[in-house]
Chains A and B, each alone.
Chain A
Amino acid sequence: MIRFTAIRLVEIAAMLVLMSFVIYALIGLMPGDPIDLMLGADPHLTSADVARLKQLYGVDRPLIERYLAWAHAALSGDLGYSRLFSAPVAATLLPRLGNSLVLLGLSFVIAFAASLGLGIAAARRPRSRFDAAVNFTCFAGVSLPTFWLALILILVFAEGLGWLPASGMGGSEGGVFADRLRHLILPVATLTIASIGGYTRYVRAAMRDALGQDHIRTARSKGASEARVVWRHALRGAMVPIATILALSFGTLVSGALVTEEMFAYPGMGKLIFDAVMGNDYNLALAALLLATAVTMLANLAADLAYAWLDPRVSYR
């Protein structure tokens, strides 16, 4: 197990190095550098300004040279400067990361807890009215466009009923915690409704499969209670495929939810990455995308390790 983990960590490190170059090169190959974009926004910029700013921001050097300079600085802990936000990358990234973790983490926990309950209940009563209702709700949730759902929630709960704020993060005036929580309700609800259907479908399918296994029949024949059969025996087996889905979801915790963030004017990672890529902010885009890549790969490693714990038949040598 230790050897397996060590090899995977080395693979992850190698993949991150490769990805850093691929991302840097892809952004570099996109037309227009940051100064060209500045030029379009400021008619006063002269050719002398263009040359001066290109040198100052280092975009007059070949791509590979810039990448190596970035890699050298990054290895010593300096992620560089975000041109878009006029601030160091770390200072720009960390608050947004915190915001995304709160928003997506809350939604993830609520959605997963709810889908676990719904999926298990539906799997235990296949083809029942309850199962049909859960299926219908799941498909509705999956099919709803996020921007539309967000808009409807804003119109009903903010404009119509006036119960909740329509946008922002809150927390600026008194009662910081309560205010932040109020501002989180609608975006969390949007993300939860949008993701609950998918999770529930996975849980239901995995549980149905698990409940049909021979060892479940054996447990029942030995007189185990239904609760013990479901929660102790079936769920453990069902968790193997679910763990894969959960691991993949971890990447989104740090890569944000662009549409929801934009609809609720919530400053998270999704909008940050989008702006960084569109604004040709190499340093910021690279750091954010690498972070998402690293978290996704580490979560997948964690899932692989969890398989061995969940299913005694799995072992790593």
Chain B
Amino acid sequence: MAHDQLTIGIVQFPATLNPDIDALAAKSYVLGFASRPFTVFDADWKIVCLLCTELPSFENGRAVKTELPGGKTGVDLTYTIRDGAMWADGVPVTTEDVRFTYEFGRNKQSAVANAELYREILGVDVKDDKTFTLHFDRLGYNYAAIDDFVLLPAHRERAAFADPAQYRLRTLYATDPTNPGLYDGPYRISEFVSGSHIALEPNPHWAGPAPYFKRITVRAIENTAALEANLLSGTVDMVAGEVGLPLDEALAFDKRHGGDFNIIYKPGLTFEHVDCNLDNPVLADVRVREALLSGLDRETLSRTVFAGKQAVANSFVEPQDAGFTDDVPHHPYDPARAKQLLEEAGWHAQPDGSRRNADGKALSLELATTAGNRSRELVEQVLQSQWKAIGVDIRIHNEPARVLFGETLPHRHFDLAMYAWISAPENSPRSIFRSNEVPNEANGYAGENLSDYRNPEMDRIIDALEIELDPDKRKILWAAAQRLYATDLPSLPLYFRSDAFILPKWLTGVRPTGNQYPTTLWVTDWGEKK
């Protein structure tokens, strides 16, 4: 039986479809069908052009170094919009859209989420309808990537932007999300039922390879048990890995029904770890942190809980990443060494199995994670029991995600916190490790250096890394950063999370990327097995 329609189950409904407001995975997933960013990282983790014709480089003359006041180095990047790029209402994508998007991003009253990109762009020069130059105030190694510069259609959105403060209310993405003029990808949104489903139909003006399916429906089913039942009943054909079942549930599904589906496990950039609050005098001692890591049997944990699909992490860089090195201290499971380290740190074993210091204080720490996240709660119990075996008492204090991420972590009211960092290929670790990125009142509790990790050497490496254009020299800096991390252990690395893509056996062409760019960006490769 030929399939000309595809129904996809996801567990989250996008809050908005405006590409530049909010940053939810569900929105990225849906917009992957309907919107074309200029550049993205593909499944090989290489920067590629989607809407542009050619990536700027110093060799092809599209990237030019500039000297800025104050001795800073900037870069001018010239892009050309590919031939035939059209909004789905038949209006060509032009540099007028580039100008409008820049105007929107620079306006302080617009609700753009990632304004940093627009702050880095000092200006835009338009050469003609298709070619433009962006003037950046800095030159970094990923200079050619302008992934977050996603065009808004000027001919449709300019009227809504007349009053920038009201734009988020008036954007057609909110008031008329099925307007074809909003989408320039292979598909356009043809139906939008808030909280229920989004349907997509081919963009009649799409100039690239024709997409295979006549209709794609993305259905939000937040309850994962119900999502599985929908999959089995055929109400949905597949579950997206990017916003689908958690790994433990996917593994259980695989055991029961794996033979009926094509299940792909793709490790990615989500780094699960336990942050140590270095303000806590107990955790400020690196011997205690090392003891905690040596006291964990992460290999067995990964094998038994995640069927080995989530490899143990020894640093914060994923093995597929260009900057990865395995030449770092590994801290394998070694309870004897863990106990010895704790003794050296002044935490002495007591007859009842606990540990106390010279003042009689017990070695007891609080471990927080997101309440209701079954997978993390399971891992948490393993950590608690393994640390108890080396004499560390762990008090579990879980909170709903909104409390943990909204209050506890930014205000650093924790001892140990288990959560994940979501990264990008060769993403600078500035926000998580640089000493000026510790959240505090003065910076509005922004920054992700929640451990309060301060090492001038790490600061130096990060600063040097970000402006190093030579990939080989950069690799050396990445390796140094990973070694420093694995030695200082501001957090305890656990594993990199894997996504499970549950696909029908007849579907071809879905190639998980493992990075933040969804498979849907390459929907024109999707088809049916003949």
Q: Which residues of A contact B (CB under 8 A)?
A: 30-33, 36-54, 56, 81, 84-88, 92, 95-96, 147, 150-151, 154-155, 158-159, 162, 165-169, 172, 262-267, 271-272, 278-280
Contact = CB atoms under 8 A, between A and B. Distances in A.
Interface stretch (B227-235, B340-348, B499-507): B227-235
A265 B196 contact: yes
14 contacts: A40-B406, A42-B114, A44-B148, A50-B445, A53-B111, A81-B168, A86-B171, A151-B229, A162-B233, A166-B229, A166-B230, A167-B230, A265-B226, A267-B196
A87 B408 CA distance: 29
B24 interface: yes
Interface residues of B, number: 66
B219 interface: yes
B174 interface: yes
A265 B221 contact: yes
Given A43-B431, A92-B194, A265-B196, A37 B111 contact: no
A267 B197 CA distance: 9
A50 B446 contact: yes
Contacts of A155: 229, 232-233
Contacts of B113: 38, 42, 44-45, 49, 53
Contacts, number: 179
Interface in B215-264: 217, 219-223, 225-226, 229-230, 232-235
B23 A42 contact: yes
Contact of A86 (B16, B23, B448): B16
Interface in B170-215: 171, 173-175, 191, 193-197, 199
Contacts of B64: none
Given A38-B113, A46-B116, 19 more contacts: A30-B402, A31-B406, A36-B405, A37-B402, A39-B445, A40-B406, A44-B114, A44-B116, A45-B113, A47-B443, A49-B446, A85-B15, A85-B174, A147-B225, A166-B226, A166-B229, A169-B193, A267-B196, A278-B402
Contacts of B234: 162
Given A86-B22, A87-B174, A166-B226, A51 B444 contact: yes
Given A31-B408, A53-B111, A84-B15, A278 B446 contact: no
B450 to A, nearest CB: 11
Given A150-B226, A159-B232, A168-B197, A47 B169 contact: no
Nearest 4 interchain pairs by C-beta: A32-B406, A267-B195, A31-B407, A40-B405
Contacts of B195: 96, 267, 271-272
Interface in B19-72: 21-24
Nearest to A54: B444
Given A52-B115, A166-B226, A263-B226, A37 B447 contact: no
Nearest to B18: A86
A147 B223 contact: yes
A1 to B, nearest CB: 42
Contacts of B115: 46, 48-49, 52
A88 B169 CA distance: 7
B400 interface: yes
Interface string B108-131: 110101111101000000000000
Contacts of B444: 47, 50-51, 54
A280 B406 contact: yes
Contacts of B464: none
A266 B196 contact: yes
Nearest to A161: B233
B437 to A, nearest CB: 10
